[in-house]
């Protein structure tokens, strides 16, 4: 993206200082009792959907730079004592914190040397994690609010959006209208592109990790204007990834606008298929979403197993 166009949006959506100089929760501050109560009031049929992908060697990562989780047993049916048949088994995991279903922390990306809320990247980023904007700030009070599914694939009457399709503000508006929802302050927006199916149904990791449909940078303003608390999607990066998304003057522009300027966590690889099918069936696209990340101190992101409760 060209810097001049980017800067225009960035100025508009910046939340630096809005919640104080040391704030590290960003737009999660929009979640108040009202938003949570609004979410709880959506629980009317008692259905629960877990949106996290399985964490194992068959996950979506290509096993290069980011790999799929590795589990190692450390005890396998080890007796608990000399006189007992009682045994236990233990294990450890080794995994990238940006693999499978996860939240990007506000320390995950930056530009011009500054992270969200004016932290200097050079001094905040360390081999053991970030001293500011780590995911623990998102985890401490958690993420629970009303969730809204904006099913763009369904809006376009496709299973998956084409890889070269950028979701526009008009698409978001049209989805709201079609679904009969009004996004309010503190809501968490879940965007369905259908792209996850390239992995979950087709097992095509190359395609899943390649160019893909997602939100265009200008949607940041729409999210900002509605005081959305967080946005997640069923693709790799929430945002549209085209041939120029990683080159040009501003790489991953929506990441930069949301995470660095607005302080808005991005949720990636949320498995929205079953939830979307249910929403399509009963016509209710709002629910209670409880999706706290694990509280890994200093982490640039952390896995979550989000629950959508209807």
119 binds a copy of itself (CB under 8 A): no
Site string for a copy of itself, 9-48 (x = CB under 8 A): ----------------------xxxxxxx--x--xxxxxx
Q: How many CA atoms lie within 13 A of 238 on its CB side?
A: 26
Among 4, 20, 21, 74, binds a copy of itself (CB under 8 A): 74
Number of residues that bind a copy of itself (CB under 8 A): 104
Q: What is the C-alpha separation between 31 and 29, in angstroms, rounded? A: 5
Give whichever of 172 and 302 is closer to a copy of itself, judged by the CB atom.
302
Residue placing its CB nearer to a copy of itself in the complex, 22 or 86:
86
Q: Which is nearer to a copy of itself, 172 or 230 (CB)?
A: 230
Q: What is the CA radius of gyration of the chain?
A: 20
Among residue numbers 221 through 280, which ones bind a copy of itself (CB under 8 A)? 246-253, 255-256
Q: Which of 16, 54, 174, 205 binds a copy of itself (CB under 8 A)?
A: 54
For residues 24 and 172, which CB has a smaller minimum distance to a copy of itself in the complex? 24
Binding mask 127-146 for a copy of itself (x = CB under 8 A): xxxx-----x--xxxx-x--
Residue from 71, 182, 202, 211 in contact with a copy of itself (CB under 8 A): 71
Using CB under 8 A, pick the residue from 11, 22, 82, 243 that binds a copy of itself: 82
81 is a site residue for a copy of itself (CB under 8 A): yes
User: Which residues touch 140 (CB under 8 Å, ≥6 apart)?
Assistant: 295
Reference 263, options 235, 226, 231, 219; nearest CA is: 231
Q: Footprint of a copy of itself on residues 173-232 (CB under 8 A)?
A: none
Give yes or no for residue 290 binding a copy of itself (CB under 8 A).
yes
Q: Which stretch binds a copy of itself (CB under 8 A): 84-92, 154-162, 201-209, 214-222?
A: 84-92
**Contacts of a copy of itself in 89-118 (CB under 8 A):** 89-98, 107-113
Torsion of CA 189, 293, 98, 61, to 10 degrees: -80
Asked if 245 contacts 221 with a C-beta cutoff of 8 angstroms, the reply is no
CB 28 within 8 A of CB 185: no
257: helix, strand or coil: helix
Report how far residue 218's alpha carbon sits from residue 168's, in angstroms, rounded to the nearest whole number: 7
What values do phi and psi take at 269, rounded to 5? 60, 40
Give the alpha-carbon dihedral of 24, 25, 27, 33, to 10 degrees.
Answer: -150
Which of 189, 293, 195, 191 is CA-nearest to residue 236?
195
Task: State the minimum distance, in angstroms, from the CB of residue 61 to a copy of itself.
Answer: 10
**Which tokens in the block code for residue 42?**
């959506």
Work out whether strand 48-50 and strand 307-309 pair parallel, antiparallel, or are unpaired. antiparallel
In whole angstroms, how close is the CB of 155 to a copy of itself at the nearest point?
A: 27
We find the least distance from the C-beta atom of residue 182 to a copy of itself, in angstroms, to be 19
Q: Which is nearer to a copy of itself, 1 or 175 (CB)?
A: 1
């Amino acid at each position: 993206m060209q810097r001049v166009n980017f800067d225009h949006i960035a100025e508009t959506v910046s939340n630096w200082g809005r919640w104080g100089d040391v704030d590290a929760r960003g737009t999660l501050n929009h979640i108040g009792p009202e938003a949570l109560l609004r979410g709880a009031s959506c629980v009317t049929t008692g259905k629960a959907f877990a949106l996290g992908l399985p964490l194992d060697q068959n996950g979506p990562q290509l096993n290069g730079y980011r790999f799929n989780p590795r589990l190692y047993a450390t005890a396998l049916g080890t007796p608990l004592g000399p006189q007992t048949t009682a045994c236990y088994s233990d294990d450890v995991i080794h995994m990238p914190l940006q693999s499978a279903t996860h939240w990007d922390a506000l320390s995950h990306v930056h530009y011009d040397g500054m992270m969200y809320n004016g932290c200097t990247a050079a001094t905040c980023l360390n081999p053991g994690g970030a001293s500011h904007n780590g995911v623990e700030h998102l985890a401490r009070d958690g993420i629970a609010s009303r969730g809204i599914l904006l099913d763009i694939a369904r809006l376009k009457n496709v299973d998956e959006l084409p890889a070269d399709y950028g979701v526009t503000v008009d698409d978001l508006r049209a989805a709201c209208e079609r679904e009969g929802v009004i996004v309010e302050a503190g809501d968490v927006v879940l965007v369905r592109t259908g792209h996850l199916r390239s992995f979950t149904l087709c097992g095509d990791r190359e395609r899943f990790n390649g160019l893909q449909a997602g939100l265009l940078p200008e949607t940041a303003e729409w999210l900002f204007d509605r005081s959305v608390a967080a946005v997640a999607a069923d693709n790799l990066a929430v945002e549209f990834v085209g041939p120029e998304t990683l080159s040009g003057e501003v790489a991953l522009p929506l990441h930069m606008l949301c995470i660095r300027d607005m302080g808005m966590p991005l949720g990636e690889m949320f498995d929205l298929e079953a939830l979307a099918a249910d929403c399509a069936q009963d016509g209710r696209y709002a629910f209670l979403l409880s999706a706290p990340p694990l509280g890994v101190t200093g982490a640039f992101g952390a896995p979550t197993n989000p629950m959508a409760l209807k």
